[in-house]
Amino acid sequence: AQSVTQLDSQVPVFEEAPVELRCNYSSSVSVYLFWYVQYPNQGLQLLLKYLSGSTLVKGINGFEAEFNKSQTSFHLRKPSVHISDTAEYFCAVRNPYSGAGSYQLTFGKGTKLSVIP
């Protein structure tokens, strides 16, 4: 079985400062990895994903993440945050060998990013 650990439940950061949200996964097989963002009072939307290939993945709104197989990590980064980045961020994992029709995503517990003016 696979699992996801988000190491920080809350991360406060000043506007225009860099940020890193940490995610570690546990799996006995290769995985697909995802970051989702949830703005206040909204549903989740996909921020970026790693399926294969380059370990540095770029997403929307200037976010990027790096897949590190040896450290089983998929940390999310942004060089300069904006007030509008205040949201909750979820890391998720999927077993790529499960069928396309029935696979499930396992989500981490989330990290609340608060951008301070």
The contact set with other proteins (CB under 8 A) reads 6, 9, 32, 34, 41-46, 49, 51, 90, 92, 94, 100-102, 104-105, 107-110
What's the Cα-to-Cα distance from 73 to each of 42, 70, 86, 103, rounded to whole Å?
A: 27, 8, 23, 21
CB of 61 to other proteins, least distance (A): 16
Q: How far is the CB of 103 from other proteins (least distance, A)?
A: 8
Least spacing, CB of residue 44 vs other proteins, in Å: 5
Which of residues 34 and 81 has its CB atom nearest to other proteins in the complex?
34
The residue among 17 and 46 lying less far from other proteins, judged by its C-beta, is 46
Q: What is the DSSP letter of 34?
A: E
Instruction: Give residue 96's region: left, alpha or beta (phi > 0; psi -120 to 50).
Output: alpha
User: How far, in Å, CA of 20 to CA of 75, rounded?
Assistant: 7
C-alpha closest to that of 63 among 109, 22, 11, 20: 20
Smaller CB distance to other proteins: residue 66 or 105? Answer: 105
Q: How far apart are CA 85 and CA 82, in angstroms?
A: 5
Q: Please state the closest distance from residue 62 (CB atom) to other proteins, in A.
A: 19
Nearer to other proteins, 15 or 49 (CB): 49
